[in-house]
Amino acid sequence: MTALFSILRPALVLFALLSALTGLLYPAAVTGVAGTLFPRQAAGSLIERDGQLLGSALIGQHFEAPKYFWPRPSATAPMANNAAASGGANQGPLNPALTDAVKARIAALRAADPDNTAPVPADLVTASASGLDPDISPAAAHFQAARVARARGLPADAVERLIDAHTTPRDWGLIGEPRVNVLQLNLALDGAAR
């Protein structure tokens, strides 16, 4: 029994030390550094107006009214943009369910703006891998600009300028794609309408 304990003791001590280091000390240090250097992001990039929490810049919000820009479709269940159920639909390009969903989304976009004959940007009819994407491409925003301007009674060029003002370029000029945060753009529209 003593021989077995002498063999197991170093393994158990190492297990306890590594568990404390990687399970407690390292996460606490990273959380502390993140909270100090990036307090807004570490708190969830929350967006507030007049003391009321409206959402996060990191998680998509669901908008359906014609006066708002619509986000990417969400593949989360049981509701759209459910952060607790992040994940894609895992439907491949040959899956009939994906084809039907894309056709239905295109039909909804065309019904909301029948005069718009431009090609529908892919990000307006396909969900992101997380199902929570808060951003759309500038092309997707510009595609919706006429509908939003008409629904709000605003000049189309004013809405176009608002899109341009809320377009974030590639990170460091080379990583990712230009993007527009839908919640921030819609809040700016609400602010412009005041």
pLDDT tens-digit series, residues 34-72:
899 988 888 888 888 888 888 888 888 888 899 999 999
pLDDT of residue 194: 54
Residues 88 and 169 in one domain: yes
Residues 26 and 98 in one domain: no
105-112, long-range: CB within 8 Å, 24+ apart, which pairs?
A: 105/73, 109/70, 109/143, 112/66, 112/147
What are the structure tokens assigned to 87, written together?
């994940």
Residues 123 and 146 in one domain: yes
Q: Place 24 in a pLDDT band, splitting at 50, 70 and 90.
A: very high
Q: Place 84 in a pLDDT band, splitting at 50, 70 and 90.
A: confident
Residues 111 and 181 in one domain: yes
At a CB cut-off of 8 Å and minimum separation 6, what does 95 contact? none
Domain that holds residue 122: 45-193
